[in-house]
A and B are shown apart, each in its own frame.
Chain A
Amino acid sequence: MGDILVVAEHRGGQLAAVSLEMLSKGRELANHCGGQVAAVVIGKDADRYARRLAQHADTVVVVDHHGLEDSPAEPSQRVLSSIVSERKPKLVLMGHTSFAMDLAPALAVELGAALATDCLDVSARDGVFRVTTAPYNGKVRAVYAFAPSDIIIVTGRAGSFPVEQAQGQGDIEVLEYDVEQDGQRKVFEGYVEPEASDVDIAQAKVVVSVGRGIKDSDKLELAEELASALGGVVACSRPIVDYGWLPAGRQVGQSGKTVTPKLYVALGISGAFQHVVGLTGAKMIVAVNKDPHAPIFGVADYGIVGDLFEVVPALTQKVRELKA
């Protein structure tokens, strides 16, 4: 069926977990349909990730790019377009990250490739590649099929593909690309790291998190009370920060923090992937939502379908009683 190319990402000396997930998926597809799996990693000293990637890949292409420490989309697009044009993989896989959101659509146009983004699944059967996505904020699932002739680029949602154990020893190729930034029309100026927060939600043992369903900043009290009864802290999904009801340091999710509490309580959070991706390390997840189809119930251990304004005060009360 052709070869598979997986684009690996890294920042601050860390290989992105989603890159290994996509590599595992690539390996599975290749085992099923034949073809080789290559991983590409771009950036200064990118060779440090090569051996880890080589456990899954037949080949690892290291593009030791001197311009940048990490892997911003610019100028990775030109590196990738030249590698894809040369090697002609059938499928290019990468995580659906801020890097890929900048890069993948532009790369697809440049290469004349077909593209599907934010996919929960990728399959290949009878010569047809299909992907599954979660439109309408996860309320529905959509299955797409690709036309057979194109090169296909797929970005996959973090946490959708398990990382398989692998002990392979693929070949490592180091390529030297010394790419200038694109005529200075887009110049990378650096990173801004997140500000320290008033409360460190990343370290908390219990996190009570609120989403759009809380409706009103005054109702945050309900969450504060439950958090205090449980001995935890209050966090939130993105809209709450957008509204200015809680500081950015309290946000859980892709553009916020990753939390690893023993208990995560999601109140009025629908469970959009951008949020859920931040709680993969939670030991137990409990959700209260009025919508039985809310995707949060797909990741929660326990759920109550109901009005949080009724359930939460009752829960706070019961927790206090049980602790007393």
Chain B
Amino acid sequence: MNVVVAIKKVVDTSEAADVVEVDAAGKDISKAGLVSRLNDWDGYALEEGLRWREKLGGTATALTVGPRDWDDVLRTALAMGADAAVRVDEDAASMDCRSVARILATAIGKLPHDLVLFGAQSEDFGSAQLGPMVAQMLGLPHATLVVGLDVNDDRVHVSREIEGGARELYTLTLPALLTIQTGLNRPRYVSFSRIKRAREKEIGVTTLHELGLSSADLVPSVTLERLELTPAGRRAMLISGNPEEAAGALATLLKESGVI
């Protein structure tokens, strides 16, 4: 079975919350001093794709659309065990999702694919649009927010997460596209020596031109006008003081309002 996993690189803001700033152009956050890495959701998608490839044979290809310094997330994928890595050499940061989906769909169309996996969303803009868009462009059945899957001959049984802790079950005929939710596996640790060995491996680089795409195929339908920091504590009354004092003041407030 041939698996393609679409991945992206994001800046890690999980621990750096209080140092996030908007950049001078007002179109993205300032990435200086922040570490970039594989999108969290994509790690789960890669792990799942690799497990099925290891079980059923075939190839696993990691795919991204990004500038040259995105090669490192492809190398992570290779170090995890992907057989091949392809990068469409294009900085897609300012493109809308439909254009990026168009590029990915074209690239996936040229790769052997029985199972196409995406992370359910990205950690940065998190719009969760790419997977289903690509599925529609390629005419593949799809399911999003997948928290369990089982490949069986030419079918994949999936469990997708819906509201309130419930799940929806579907059976899709391969080739199919799934977007993967966190938590359905534990992405493997990639040791430094594996990463080093992956540096020797080749990354297939292709261009929009080679894919037969031109700017006419990539007309944006929605444009980012500006980005601004979320105002701090817009609603909450913030209690100040050292931990002891703040805790004391809060406990008193809770008592006064009758909740304790």
Contacts and interface: CB of A to CB of B under 8 A. Distances in A.
A105 B29 contact: no
Interface of A: 11, 16, 72, 74, 97-99, 101-106, 108-110, 113-118, 130, 133-147, 150, 182, 184-194, 206, 212, 230-231, 238-239, 241-242, 248-249, 251, 254-258, 262-263, 270, 283-287, 290-307, 310-312, 314-315, 317-319, 321-323
A50 to B, nearest CB: 22
Contacts of A108: 98, 129, 133
Contacts of B14: 137, 212
A74 B159 CA distance: 15
What 9 A-B pairs have minimum CB-CB distances, sorted nearest first? A194-B165, A114-B221, A242-B183, A318-B251, A314-B247, A303-B236, A291-B17, A297-B233, A310-B243
Given A102-B142, A106-B136, A194-B165, 12 more contacts: A102-B144, A109-B136, A109-B137, A186-B172, A189-B171, A191-B162, A192-B169, A194-B164, A284-B257, A286-B250, A292-B232, A293-B17
A209 to B, nearest CB: 15
A251 B166 CA distance: 12
Nearest to A302: B237
Nearest to B182: A242
Given A114-B221, A315-B250, A301 B236 contact: yes
B223 interface: yes
B225 A144 contact: yes
Contacts of A145: 222-223, 225
Contacts of B257: 284
A255 B18 contact: no
B59 to A, nearest CB: 23
Interface stretch (B80-88, B120-128, B203-211): B120-128
B101 interface: yes
Interface in B205-236: 220-236
Contact of A257 (B128, B132, B165, B224): B165
A238 B136 contact: no
A193 B159 CA distance: 12
Contacts of A263: 254, 259-260
B18 A109 contact: no
Nearest to A311: B243
Nearest to B257: A284
Contacts of A307: 243
B111 interface: no
A92 B24 CA distance: 34
**Consensus secondary structure, chain A interface:** mixed
Nearest to A192: B167
Contact of A293 (B133, B224, B232): B232
A286 B238 CA distance: 10
A118 to B, nearest CB: 6
A130 B259 CA distance: 41
A130 B226 CA distance: 11
B20 A98 contact: no
Given A255-B161, A287-B236, A300-B236, A118 B126 contact: yes
Contacts of B126: 118, 135-137
Contacts of B165: 194, 248-249, 251, 255-257
B100 to A, nearest CB: 12
